[in-house]
Amino acid sequence: MQETTSIVPRLVVAAPQGRSGKTTLTLGVCAALSRRGLQVQPFKKGPDFIDPSWLSAAAGRACRSLDPYFLEADTVQHGKQRLRVALFRGSRDADVTVIEGNHGLYDDSHGDGAGSTAAVARALGAPVLLVINAARMARSAAAMVLGYVQFEPDTHIAGVILNNVAHPRHAASLSRAIRNSCDIPVVGALPRAANLSIPDRHLGLVPPGEDEALMPAIEACRQAVEQNVALDTILEIARQAGALHLSSESRPPQPPTPKEAGLASIVIGVFRDQAFSFYYPENLEALQYAGADLVFIDSLNEPHLPAVDGLYIGGGFPEVFMEKLEANGSLRREVHRAAQAGLPVYAECGGLMYLSRAIHWQNRPAGLPGQTHRTSAQMAGVLPVDVALYDRPQGHGYVLAETRWKNPLFPAGSRLRGHEFHHSRLVDLDPHLPAAYHLTKGKGLGDGRDGLVYRNVLASYTHLHAHGAPDWAACFVAAARGSSGPGAWE
């Protein structure tokens, strides 16, 4: 087996538990290093959309996903190689790569740590910065750090960042205790500050693209890091990461591009705006590689559907902008007519909601942008269902799906890995309405089903990632061509 190596300066930002301040610290580091003129490539561990949107804004470079579940392989070693290849491909031309972990450092959905942030750091040979919420803590912080260092000793915790320190004496006392007990340097101490909090709501943080007034939060994080964190030390830690070893077996040869194969490009429209912003850059790139030219459509303001061969409606917050979506009736009607005429449409979560008859939200929170205190709004009416919003999640976590029923994209027996996080569910759902996916993990539509099928429409609560559904883009493009591609059914 041939092996190549690559040196990618890199580090992982992690924490003992959620809400410790790792997103604040990662945003500030990305923004501060970018301001120095460095090309910073952010990654987010896990199936997130909103944190990556903030990291993309801070770094000026699209944040990418690193998720062991999506990259799971037949062997542990192959899975590690897939993680390294994903990091290598996403970090091309970058000066430094910053990976934000999720949950606690050693937490994962299996309970054995195989999919934890620590496991990702070890697979990538990346040092870890541990962010500690130091509020109401003194010498006990050293015991916490020592426990994290010793729990899995091959996880390289290279530095500690203190968050929520009360005053300089507090920071000095904590730093001394950690240095004396653990021999781990404290490379920064962020003070308590209200302007370092990032707005959130029912699905997590508010995406920065929804409101330009949110952008000062990134500036505040940058200034806090520049004033309170040893950036040069952090860069040195990242540059001490060893070479990445990439086996040729983990990088199968790529098929010829459609242009190389003599095929004409096709056009796929993508709803991309304040209401629909949940797209992995890897998915968009996969569509382009499969031969698609992408046309982005503002569903809130663009009155007409452009000439497209397929339509991709990702996730987002259509419920927040439902009045504006309803007001753009000409686009809704044109999407309806196009779907009736057989246009291939792929929709996820928020896109599924847009294709419904209407959205109903009984306990709508106050203060949402554009809110007129209405609780219902008409949507495109492609699917014969309504959508109801609830206060609590109706589906949250990883999804494992298999296609068992006829659909416009995937062949029978396709196994797909994705995730879901939705506060809505479908009402008046006809149990005989065709659904493409049988779920062995996840909630979806309920009753082990997901992926409603209507003509050439496939709409699901499941979000797919190109890593967990490698044939998705080729299947979608083949459907848009109207050809008997890999997604065609006999």
Distance, in Å, from the CA atom of 63 to the CA atom of 84, rounded to the nearest integer, reads: 16
Distance, in Å, from the CA atom of 117 to the CA atom of 119, rounded to the nearest integer, reads: 5
Residues in the chain: 490
Pairing of the two strands 358-361 and 310-313:
unpaired
Helix or strand or coil: residue 180?
A: helix
How many other C-beta atoms are found inside a 10 Å radius of the C-beta of residue 194? Answer: 6
- Residue pair 242/79 in contact by the 8 Å Cβ criterion: no
The Cα-based distances of 50 to 91, 208, 418 in angstroms read 20, 8, 16
Instruction: Supply 291's token pair.
Output: 């031969």
Q: What is the DSSP letter of 427?
A: E
- Residue pair 311/477 in contact by the 8 Å Cβ criterion: no
Report how far Cα 229 is from the mean position of its chain's Cα atoms: 27
What is the crossing angle of helices 216-228 and 50-59, to 10°?
70
Report how far Cα 476 is from the mean position of its chain's Cα atoms: 21
Active site residue 349: yes
- Residue pair 35/12 in contact by the 8 Å Cβ criterion: no
Give the angle subtended at the CA of 62 by the CAs of 267 and 204, to the nearest 5°.
Answer: 105
Distance, in Å, from the CA atom of 423 to the CA atom of 384, rounded to the nearest integer, reads: 20
Give the angle subtended at the CA of 414 by the CAs of 387 and 425, to the nearest 5°.
Answer: 10
- Residue pair 187/233 in contact by the 8 Å Cβ criterion: yes
- Residue pair 405/378 in contact by the 8 Å Cβ criterion: no
Q: Which helix (H) or strand (E) holds 205?
A: strand 204-205
Q: What is the DSSP letter of 275?
A: S
Residue with tokens 């792929």: 346
- Residue pair 162/141 in contact by the 8 Å Cβ criterion: yes
The dihedrals phi and psi of 56, each to the nearest 5 degrees, come to: -60, -45
- Name the active-site residue from 30, 182, 221, 349: 349
Those residues with Cβ within 8 angstroms of residue 181's Cβ, 6 or more apart along the chain or in another chain? 142, 143, 145, 146
Distance, in Å, from the CA atom of 264 to the CA atom of 277, rounded to the nearest integer, reads: 28
- Burial per residue of 438-452, b for 16 or more beta-carbon CB atoms within 10 angstroms, e otherwise: bbebbbbbeeebbbb
Helix or strand or coil: residue 31?
A: helix
What amino acid positions are annotated as catalytic residues?
A: 349
